[in-house]
Structure 1
Amino acid sequence: MTPSPHQSTGTAITADDLPLDNSFAALPPDFHTRLMPTPLPAPYFVAASAKAAALVGLDARALAADDFVAVFTGNAVPARAQPLAAVYSGHQFGVWAGQLGDGRAILLGALPGPGGAPIELQLKGAGLTPYSRMGDGRAVLRSSIREYLCSEAIAALGIPTTRALVITGSDKGVMRETVETSAVVTRMAPSFVRFGSFEHWFYRDKPEQLRILADYVIANFYPELKDAPNPYKELLAEVTRRTARMIAQWQAVGFMHGVMNTDNMSILGLTLDYGPFGFMEAFDANHICNHTDQQGRYSYANQPQVGHWNCYALGQALLPLIGAVEDAQDALDVYQDAFARKTDELLHAKLGLSTIEENDTILFDAMFKIMHDNHVDFTLFFRGLARLRVDAPESDLPALDAPLRDQFIAREAFDAWAATYRARLRREHSVDAERAPAMDRVNPKYVLRNYLAQVAIDKAQHKDFSEIDKLLAVLERPFDEQPENAAYAALPPDWASHLEVSCSS
């Protein structure tokens, strides 16, 4: 175990010794409710992420011990914990939903992370809170596995995200569409403050609480903004910029969040709240991964504009602090440029282009059109693109192109685009042996396809958790070839077409 700032070399930490601190608990009482988690009967260990554990100086193997299982299920509370549920509000599917809050999540406190920066631990599924509304305060094993795997998979892809430390389970039944077993997933992030945390105070006309929250966020997470002429304007601008870049990264790997409500948007620009997410398979720009989203508000194509809309909602909430509408608009105007710049950077890297030409956008748009028209698998296409050669004889190109070309129904459309792409590569004197490995470093071979998660879930529901560990090990190295795990990069089987994910969890 790598010693952390709160451990001495050779000293194993116990669950009750966790040196938790909780800066959010120091906010006034109307920001949260102090309460204890609700225990689950006979909890058991399911899985733990070694990489997430290392961030807070823990050994993932130790988390299977009874004392850690009890803490991360909510059956025991460490001495220094200050458990609480936070209040917030939000827009859901574009409609003001009023007060929401942590309906099944309880914040224990924070441990020192890299460089001593605090990382909060939050139990999701730890029981009823005053904000549970009609819910039961529980999470089910199915959704907990999906969140755990995707949190760590997104982190491995280099996209800002909350992390998942550990899953514990219990045979206690909870009702969703059917009766399922309970689980708790421990999430990690520097902060779980959301856009909706600010909206809550704005719509309640509580400017002092709004200011307290903004000052807390700036002091703890954006200290460089504290002395700006208008720190609240700069806060909005930086959050907007981070959000735009994050969503550009989602788009570049075909990730769809599925429920981009303002209460699911992180004030730190992290991917937050994994529910009905999905990774694009057969490319359809209008694909909707969330079965509940009947109107397609959160489709793949809509994610960038919804992200911008959500930033406007945050800007509206911060307006009493920012002052002038023009200043808020200036801050929000960074979104389009930040998104465009990050998208352009990522697409050039994905196509192995080291220079920029005026007509590159035309090349990119044509590529997405033929992908859309032919429903090409998103991940396999970009991974295969690195194998397209420019230094081979023309007579050899049809055979060399075949694996990529055969993904297309309209092969002549691929041929026309590939010719344009090759000409572009040749203009910058691209070298196959140099370009291909660089492309492989940004185009993953392995992503969390729904059917892969479902296989792990099906086994786990019979108390076989081995596939969770195996799948996580694959997803932690998404850009490596891993020939021994090539089956995890395969197209989904026929039965997977019947899988649906929704807001139910």
Structure 2
Amino acid sequence: MHTLETLPFDNAFARLPEAFYTRLPPEPLPAPYLVAASQEVAALIGLDAAEVARPEFAEVFAGNALLPGSEPLAAVYSGHQFGMWAGQLGDGRAHLLGEIATGSGWEVQLKGAGPTPYSRFADGRAVLRSSIREFLCSEAMAALGIPTTRALSVVGSDAPIRRETVETAAVVARLAPSFVRFGSFEHWSARNKPDELRALADYVIDRFRPACRAATNPYDALLRDVGRRTGELIARWQAVGFMHGVMNTDNMSILGLTLDYGPFGFMDAFDAGHICNHSDDHGRYSYQSQPQIGHWNLYALGRALAPLIGPAAAVQAAIEESYAPAFESHFMDLMRAKLGLAQALPGDEDFIGETFGLLQQQHPDYTLFFRQLGRLPAQVDDASRAQADAPVRDLLIDRAAGDAWLALWPARLGAEGRPDADRQAAMNAVNPKYILRNWIAESAIRSARAKDFSEVAAVLACLARPFDEQPENERFAAPPPQWATGLSVSCSS
């Protein structure tokens, strides 16, 4: 294991031509203090757990001190925001320190570490609220098995930062194999820079997707790989009830990771049209729209890669033959598992559609519905059926309205004949009991603002085991309390 001073840096991205980034150090953060750190993520980069307790840890991950071998820089990219071309964007408040050369390699980036040439007149800072949200959700998603960037730490400061109100500053240290985005390719395509476009594509292929190099057209193979991974990622979002909130092309990872946690949300009472971002006036990024937007974003990426792939028909084929099949197949498999179905049988698509029809009509808590469903027996006599089904019926607006569905579900289970104990254990392994609800994040944020970081630590520990029964954390399994009904998040989150 390494100390802070002996972390081995490689910095492959910094070897790209200088047109891809601007080299500059982070801006120091006054009087930084540690809010939270993930020991699991520290282990990913081979950092000794004891290093987190050193005063130097907060200094380093606030951006106040540079580690030996790091080469801080801010990357340039462009993108579509809310469907409109936004032109040049870039790391406006993020500094890539470099890549830790351990295992598969992890880039370390400080988000909120001060202005860069891409800040567009902003201050380059992040606030404590948004930093805690990103830290907790990155780790919650990883524990749910959803591809994501990771978060090492949150370092705070009492420095005032104005957003919708005056808040305090913070920096979140986040990790990924790469932070290259769809918009990274759009940038060079829009500027008619084929050499830079090819250099970036070659970098991604050779470093992360070497199997694409063996294809007749490696760039076509890359687009297909991105399409497949993006389809599988969004299927996972939909299955767990996660909403990204701002699926701009500059927020889409070329590696198929969940990237840039801003106005995200997990579904409470189910509503397919739910918009988790109150800045999204037209509902472009609602829950039900996410699969379509993933498809749209891939076409934006495909247009950018067209000079390397060839005719529009080839680009279209690469997308259509990768994204939709991956999304549909993966989503169906995930929903079967959530419903306790081990086999794919004719009629499953209709049954899953009827399940979402029930959810939309009755608006039960999405997470609790599937968790409670895992408690029900498949077969009981008619006299005992109502009592057996009570944990699910109690979540519905009209309990009687669920009767038809609650008769269909045991019948579908009966087509497999799996023992209840096996099926229930399998359902509990895929239907989380604990998710990062907005009220849970808000509770941790309020405590942290009062310099009590124990709630952040408690939430982090709970969400690391989302499928386990945790009697000591039962409060985190509850739907929103009354005080939280008005909570909302926006692009400033």
TM-score surpassing 0.5?
yes
Cα distance in 2 between the residues matched to 1:61 and 1:423 = 54
Matches within 5 A, 1:152-191: 152-191=139-178
Q: What is aligned with 2:7?
A: 18
- The question of 1:454 aligning with 2:454 is answered no
Matching of residue 233 in structure 1 with residue 220 in structure 2: yes
Q: Distance in 1 between matches of 2:91 and 2:193?
A: 20
**2-structure distance, mates of 1:197, 1:49:** 29
Corresponding position: 1:501 with 2:459: no
Q: Are the equivalent residues in 2 in contact too, given 1:22–1:82 (CA < 8 A)? A: yes
Q: Secondary structure at the match of 2:117?
A: coil
Q: What is the Cα deviation at residue 61 of structure 1? A: 4.1
2:55 aligned partner: 66
Give the count of matched residue pairs.
492
Partner of residue 6, structure 1: none
* Partners of 1:63 and 1:346 in 2: CA distance: 37
Q: Helix, strand or coil for the counterpart of 1:137? A: coil
1:21 is displaced (CA, Å) by 1.6
Distance 2:433 2:295 in 1: 30
State the AA in 2 paired with 1:165. Answer: L
Deviation track 1:369-426 (CA, whole Å, cap 9, x = no partner) reads: 1111111100000101111212332211111111211111222221100101111111
8 Å CA contact 1:46, 1:168 repeated in 2 = yes
Counterpart of 2:241 (choices 227, 238, 254) is 254
Aligned positions of 1:434-453 closer than 5 A: 434-453=422-441
Task: Check conservation: 1:47, 1:465, Cα contact below 8 A.
Answer: yes
State how 1:153-302 maps to structure 2 within 5 Å: 153-302=140-289
2:75 is matched with which residue: 65, 86, 109?
86
Look up the SS of the partner of 1:425 in the other structure: helix
Q: Indicate whether 1:44 and 2:33 are aligned.
A: yes
Q: Decide whether the 8 Å contact of 1:87 with 1:102 is kept in 2.
A: yes
1:216-257, CA deviations, whole angstroms, 9 ceiling, x for partnerless residues?
Answer: 000100011112110000000000100000000000000000
Give the AA of the match of 1:381: F
Residue pair 2:4, 2:47 contacting (<8 A) in 1 also: no
Q: Would the aligned equivalents of 1:14 and 1:67 in 2 still touch at CA under 8 Å?
A: no
User: By how many angstroms is 1:358 displaced?
Assistant: 1.4
Q: Which amino acid aligns with 1:365?
A: G
1:56 maps to what in 2? Answer: 45
- Of the candidates 330, 336, 351, which is equivalent to residue 339 of structure 2? 351
Structure 1 unmatched runs, 5+: 4-12
List, as ranges, runs of 4+ consecutive aligned residues in structure 1 with deviation greater than 3 Å: none
Aligned with residue 96 of structure 1, among 81, 85, 88: 85
Superposed CA offset, 1:120-168 (max 9, x none) = 0000000010000021000000000000000000000000000000111
| Counterpart secondary structure, 1:302 | helix
Code of the residue aligned with 1:84 in structure 2: it is: L
- Taking the aligned partners of 2:53 and 2:271, their CA distance within structure 1 comes to 42
RMSD, aligned CA: 1.0
Name the amino acid aligned to 2:247.
M
Q: Which whole-Å CA distance do the structure 2 matches of 1:112 and 1:447 have between them?
A: 32
TM-score by length of 2: 0.98
Task: Report how far residue 351 of structure 1 moved.
Answer: 0.6
In the alignment, the residues of structure 2 paired with residue 340 and residue 60 of structure 1 have an alpha-carbon distance, to the nearest angstrom, of 41
Matched, 1:392 2:380: yes
Shift of 1:365: 1.0
Letter in 1 for 2:41: A
Residue 10 of structure 1 corresponds to which residue in structure 2?
none
Q: Report the residue type matching 2:424 in the other structure.
A: A
> Do 1:16 and 1:77's aligned partners in 2 also have CA atoms closer than 8 Å?
no
Q: How does 1:309-324 map to 2 (within 5 A)?
A: 309-324=296-311
Deviations 1:434-458 (A, max 9, x none): 1001000000000000000000000
Q: Percent same amino acid at aligned positions? A: 62
Match for 2:206: what amino acid?
A: A
Matches of 2:125 and 2:473, distance apart in 1: 34
* In structure 2, C-alpha distance between the alignment counterparts of 1:348 and 1:132, rounded to whole Å: 45
In 2, the alpha carbon distance for the partners of 1:253 and 1:227 equals 35
Q: Aligned pair 1:474/2:469, yes or no? A: no
2:20 is aligned, of 18, 28, 31, to 31
1:428 offset after TM fit, Å? 1.4
Structure 2: distance between partners of 1:277 and 1:149: 12
Helix, strand or coil for the counterpart of 2:180?
A: coil
**SS of aligned partner of 1:237:** helix
> How far apart in 2 are the matches of 1:117 and 1:249?
23
Which of 92, 100, 103 does residue 111 from structure 1 map onto? 100
SS in 1 for 2:160: strand
SS in 1 for 2:485: helix
Secondary structure at the counterpart of residue 214 of structure 2: coil
Q: What is the letter of the counterpart of residue 142 of structure 1?
A: R
Instruction: Flag structure 2 segments of 5+ consecutive residues without an equivalent.
Output: none
Give secondary structure in 1 for the equivalent of 2:288.
Answer: coil
Q: Say whether residues 1:427 and 2:393 are aligned partners.
A: no
Q: Is the 8 A contact 1:48 1:60 kept in 2?
A: no
Spell out, residue by residue over 1:275-308, the C-alpha distance to the aligned partner (whole angstroms, 9 max, x if none).
Answer: 0000000000000000100100000000000001
27-36 or 395-404, larger mean C-alpha shift: 395-404
**What is the DSSP-based 3-state SS (H/G/I as helix, E as strand, rest coil) of the residue aligned with 1:387?**
coil
Q: Secondary structure at the match of 1:417?
A: helix
Corresponding residue for 2:348? 360
- The letter for the 2-side match of 1:422 is P
Deviation at 1:107, TM superposition (A): 0.2
> Which residue type is aligned with residue 400 of structure 1?
A
Give CA-to-partner distance per residue, 1:467-492, whole Å, 9 cap, x none. Answer: 00000100000000112211110111
Helix, strand or coil at the partner of 1:174: strand
Work out the CA distance in 1 between the residues paired with 2:44 and 2:140.
Answer: 16
Name the structure 2 match of 1:8.
none
* Alignment correspondent of 1:7: none
AA at the equivalent of 1:397: R
